[in-house]
Structure 1
Amino acid sequence: MAANASRQLARSALRASTRSAFAAPVARQAFRQQGRRFYSSEPPKAGGSSTWIWLSGLAVAGAGGAWYYTQEGGVSAGSSPKVFTPTKADYQKVYNEIASRLEENDEYDDGSYGPVLVRLAWHASGTYDKATGTGGSNGATMRFSPESGHGANAGLKAARDFLEPVKEKFPWITYSDLWILAGVTALQEMQGPIIPYRPGRSDRDVSFCTPDGRLPDATQGGKHLRDIFGRMGFNDQEIVALSGAHALGRCHSTRSGFEGPWTFSPTVLTNDYYKLLLDEKWQWKKWNGPAQYEDKTTKTLMMLPTDYVLVQDRAFKKHVQEYAKDNELFFKDFSKVVSTLFELGVPFAEGVEPWNLKPTWDET
Structure 2
Amino acid sequence: MDGNDIPQGKCPVMHGGNTEMGDSVTSWWPKTLNLDILSQHDTRTDPMSKGYDYREELKKLDVEALKADVLALLTDSKDWWPADYGHYGPMMVRVSWHAAGSYRLADGRGGAATGNQRFAPLNSWPDNSGTDKGRRLLWPIKKKYGNKISWADLIALVGTVAYESMGLKTFGFGFGREDIWHPEKDTYWGNEKQWLAPSDQRYDDVDKPATMENPLAAVQMGLIYVNPEGVNGVPDPQKTADQVRETFKRMAMNDEETAALTAGGHTVGKCHGNGSAEDLGPEPEGAGLEDQGLGWLNKRTRGIGRDQVVGGPEGAWTSNPIEFDDGYFRMLMDHEWELTKSPAGANQWKPVNIAEGDMPPDVEDPSIRTMPMMSDADMAMKVDPIYRSYLEKFRADPEYFRDTFARAWFKLTHRDLGPKDNYFGPDVPEEDLIWQDPVPHGPTGYDVEAVKAKIADSGLSVADMVATAWDSARTYRGSDKRGGANGARIRLAPQRSWEGNEPDRLYRVLAKLEPIAEETGASVADVIVLAGNVGVEQAAKAAGFDVKVPFTPGRGDATAEQTDAESFEPMEPLADGFRNWEKKKYVVSPEEMMLDRAQLLGLTAPEMTVLVGGMRAMGTNHGGNKHGVLTDREGALTNDFFVNLTDMDYSWHPAKDGTFEIRDRATGDTKWTATSADLVFGSNSILRAYSEVYAQDDNAEKFVNDFVSAWSKVMDNDRYDVKAAA
Structure 2 unaligned blocks of 5 or more: 1-46, 190-221, 231-239, 274-308, 357-369, 429-726
SS, match of residue 347 in structure 2: coil
**1:185-334 → structure 2 map (5 Å cutoff):** 185-208=161-184, 211=189, 212-220=222-230, 221-244=240-263, 245-253=265-273, 254-286=309-341, 289-296=345-352, 297=354, 298=356, 300-334=371-405
Whole-Å Cα distance in 2 between the matches of residues 222 and 322 of structure 1? Answer: 18
- Which residue of 97, 117, 132 maps to 1:142? 117
Letter in 2 for 1:306: A
Letter in 2 for 1:164: W
- Which residue of 81, 87, 95 maps to 1:120? 95
* Partner residue in 2 for 1:96: 68
Contact 1:200 1:348 in 2 (8 A): no
Contact 2:116 2:180 in 1 (8 A): yes
Q: How far is the alpha carbon of 1:355 from its aligned partner?
A: 4.2
Whole-Å Cα distance in 1 between the matches of residues 325 and 424 of structure 2? Answer: 28
Q: Give aligned pairs, total.
A: 283
* Partner residue in 1 for 2:86: 111
Instruction: Name the CA shift for 1:102/1:287 in 2 (closer, same or farther; >3 Å).
Output: closer
Give CA-to-partner distance per residue, 1:192-232, whole Å, 9 cap, x none: 12231000001113332663344332123012111221111
Whole-Å Cα distance in 2 between the matches of residues 169 and 129 of structure 1? Answer: 33
Whole-Å Cα distance in 1 between the matches of residues 349 and 51 of structure 2? Answer: 48
Contact 1:201 1:348 in 2 (8 A): no
Q: How far is the alpha carbon of 1:287 from its aligned partner?
A: 5.1
Q: How far is the alpha carbon of 1:349 from its aligned partner?
A: 6.0
Give CA-to-partner distance per residue, 1:243-272, whole Å, 9 cap, x none: 121011111112211101111101111121
- Which residue of 34, 50, 53 maps to 1:56? 50
Instruction: Name the CA shift for 1:316/1:266 in 2 (closer, same or farther; >3 Å).
Output: same
SS, match of residue 293 in structure 1: strand
Instruction: Name the CA shift for 1:287/1:117 in 2 (closer, same or farther; >3 Å).
Output: closer
Give CA-to-partner distance per residue, 1:51-81, whole Å, 9 cap, x none: xx95237426xxxx013xxxxxxxxxxxxxx
Whole-Å Cα distance in 2 between the matches of residues 158 and 118 of structure 1? Answer: 13
Give CA-to-partner distance per residue, 1:270-298, whole Å, 9 cap, x none: 12112211111211125561110012215
Instruction: Name the CA shift for 1:114/1:214 in 2 (closer, same or farther; >3 Å).
Output: closer
Contact 2:342 2:348 in 1 (8 A): no
Contact 2:171 2:407 in 1 (8 A): yes
Q: How far is the alpha carbon of 1:240 from its aligned partner?
A: 0.5
Q: CA RMSD in A?
A: 2.2
* Partner residue in 2 for 1:30: none
Contact 2:152 2:177 in 1 (8 A): yes
* Partner residue in 1 for 2:60: 86
Instruction: Name the CA shift for 1:347/1:152 in 2 (closer, same or farther; >3 Å).
Output: same
* Partner residue in 2 for 1:28: none
Instruction: Name the CA shift for 1:262/1:351 in 2 (closer, same or farther; >3 Å).
Output: closer
SS, match of residue 283 in structure 1: strand
Whole-Å Cα distance in 1 between the matches of residues 124 and 346 of structure 2? Answer: 20
Q: How far is the alpha carbon of 1:100 from its aligned partner?
A: 1.1
Whole-Å Cα distance in 2 between the matches of residues 352 and 337 of structure 1? Answer: 17
Identity %: 27
SS, match of residue 56 in structure 1: coil
Greater helix percent: which structure?
2
Report the TM-score when normalising by structure 1: 0.73
Instruction: Name the CA shift for 1:58/1:225 in 2 (closer, same or farther; >3 Å).
Output: farther
Whole-Å Cα distance in 2 between the matches of residues 214 and 301 of structure 1? Answer: 23
* Partner residue in 2 for 1:170: 145
Contact 1:110 1:267 in 2 (8 A): yes
Between the two structures, name the one with larger relative contact order (CA 8 Å, sep ≥ 6). Answer: 1
Contact 2:313 2:342 in 1 (8 A): no
Instruction: Name the CA shift for 1:57/1:156 in 2 (closer, same or farther; >3 Å).
Output: farther
Whole-Å Cα distance in 1 between the matches of residues 423 and 130 of structure 2? Answer: 33
Contact 1:154 1:256 in 2 (8 A): yes
Q: How far is the alpha carbon of 1:102 from its aligned partner?
A: 1.4
Instruction: Name the CA shift for 1:109/1:122 in 2 (closer, same or farther; >3 Å).
Output: same
Q: How far is the alpha carbon of 1:85 from its aligned partner?
A: 2.3
Whole-Å Cα distance in 1 between the matches of residues 374 and 403 of structure 2? Answer: 24
SS, match of residue 70 in structure 2: helix
SS, match of residue 294 in structure 1: strand
Whole-Å Cα distance in 2 between the matches of residues 119 and 340 of structure 1? Answer: 16
Instruction: Name the CA shift for 1:201/1:351 in 2 (closer, same or farther; >3 Å).
Output: closer
* Partner residue in 1 for 2:133: 158
